[in-house]
Amino acid sequence: MSKLVSTVTAVTFDVLWEHGKLLSTTTNSPEINHFLEFLKLTQSYNTWVNYVFDLKCFFTAIAKPPDAITRTDCLTFMREQDQAGYADATINRRLAAVSSLFNELTLLDSKRFPLNPIYPRPLKQQRYSPKQSLYRRQAQRVPDILSEEDLQTFFAALPSWRDRTLVLLMWVSCLRIGEAVAIRFQDIECSRRSIHIPVAKWGNVRTVFMDTTTFAALNRYLDEERQDFFPEIDHLFVAFKGKARGRPLSINALQKLLKYHAERCNLSHIHAHLFRHTGITQLVQQGMTEPVIRQLVGHRSPDSLLPYLHLSDDFV
């Protein structure tokens, strides 16, 4: 296994942006550079970006190179994050990023990185206690969902078939926002009303389906709005106005668009992932089996649907 040798005292991050998208990041730590390159090659773009900023947050707060990080440093980071008002889920996500870094570094050089300070995993012959983990205990979170009235009000306020199609894909087909804007023409199979999702969270490739309403909205968008514009762009959804005209619609642009229309309808609580939560809850309420739902929505863990099952009980 190759070894990386670092001589840095504190980690610095240099990031390169273009048109609101993170293109690359480099640090003065060969260990972190290796890990981020590994993520870029094996995970989705959004996962890579999240790791970049979570690691940047940690190593900005704890000005040490990876091989100098101690468990005490991690506790200090947790305390500072807590005092800054961050939620347990946010703190745990950032700790998980650091934990994943050390798991990879242990594989590279077990002598320099013998133990993960966040989630120590001793030798097999030693007994492991979950109490050694630094992760904070979280109450099980029940997803918020949208009422039928709010859905109809918001949908009626959307001015274009592009926007309506995107909302239906996130709601009825339960797509994540990043999956929706990343759809390309070659991902769609019209005969089956299906969409191939090539790069998803956890790297799970899957196929999702459109109901007749979503498929009809998509066809209206293609026939009346997209037409033959921007033939060189293979992304399905593009921007039609401003400096980004002709470019693939970005996650940030769609989030701003949804926020704008939500505020116009006095539904400021609406955000993109709320549509997916609502769609998954409706699948549970309709009696679809859990394995099928997990396959359709891209959930890997059998426990991932438990919050939706509890929420569904409220409607019985």
pLDDT at site 144 = 74
CATH number for the domain that contains residue 50: 1.10.150.130
For the cut 90, the answer to whether the pLDDT of residue 102 exceeds it is yes
Q: Which of 132, 157, 178 is the last residue of a domain?
A: 132
Tell whether 106 and 232 lie within a shared domain. Answer: no
Is residue 125 situated within a structural domain? yes
Is residue 143 situated within a structural domain? no
Tell whether 157 and 287 lie within a shared domain. Answer: yes
Rounded to an integer, the average pLDDT of 289-309 is: 70
Is residue 278 situated within a structural domain? yes
Tell whether 279 and 156 lie within a shared domain. Answer: yes
Q: Which of 75, 98, 132 is the last residue of a domain?
A: 132
Rounded to an integer, the average pLDDT of 110-121 is: 85
Is residue 2 situated within a structural domain? no
Tell whether 101 and 38 lie within a shared domain. Answer: yes
Binned at pLDDT 50, 70 and 90, residue 315 comes out as: very low
Rounded to an integer, the average pLDDT of 203-215 is: 88
Identify whether the C-beta of residue 174 lies closer than 8 Å to the C-beta of residue 208.
yes
Is residue 227 situated within a structural domain? yes
Choose the weakest-confidence range: 81-85, 98-102, 109-113, 294-298: 294-298
Structural domain for 254, as ranges: 148-313
Q: Which of 106, 132, 158 is the last residue of a domain?
A: 132
Helix/strand/coil for 235: strand
Tell whether 213 and 287 lie within a shared domain. Answer: yes
How far CA 251 is from CA of 113, 254, 309, in Å, comes to 37, 5, 29
- H or E segment to which residue 260 belongs: helix 251-264
Tell whether 180 and 153 lie within a shared domain. Answer: yes
pTM: 0.62
pLDDT in tens, 127-178: 545 555 565 555 555 557 888 899 999 999 999 999 999 999 999 999 999 8
Return the higher-pLDDT residue of 196 and 299: 196
Tell whether 164 and 80 lie within a shared domain. Answer: no
Identify whether the C-beta of residue 122 lies closer than 8 Å to the C-beta of residue 128.
yes
Is residue 1 situated within a structural domain? no
pLDDT in tens, 230-261: 999 999 999 999 888 999 999 889 999 999 99
Tell whether 102 and 176 lie within a shared domain. Answer: no
Identify whether the C-beta of residue 56 lies closer than 8 Å to the C-beta of residue 114.
no
Tell whether 17 and 56 lie within a shared domain. Answer: yes
81: left (phi over 0), alpha (psi -120 to 50) or beta: alpha
Tell whether 117 and 265 lie within a shared domain. Answer: no
Tell whether 156 and 289 lie within a shared domain. Answer: yes
CATH number for the domain that contains residue 239: 1.10.443.10
pLDDT in tens, 50-90: 999 999 999 999 999 999 999 999 999 999 999 998 888 88
Beta bridge partners of residue 25, listed in sequence order? 15
In the chain, how many domains are there?
A: 2
Q: For residue 227, give both structure tokens.
A: 């037409």
Query: Rounded to an integer, what distance in angstroms lies between the CA atom of residue 315 and that of residue 286?
Result: 11
Is residue 250 situated within a structural domain? yes
Is residue 304 situated within a structural domain? yes
Tell whether 202 and 267 lie within a shared domain. Answer: yes
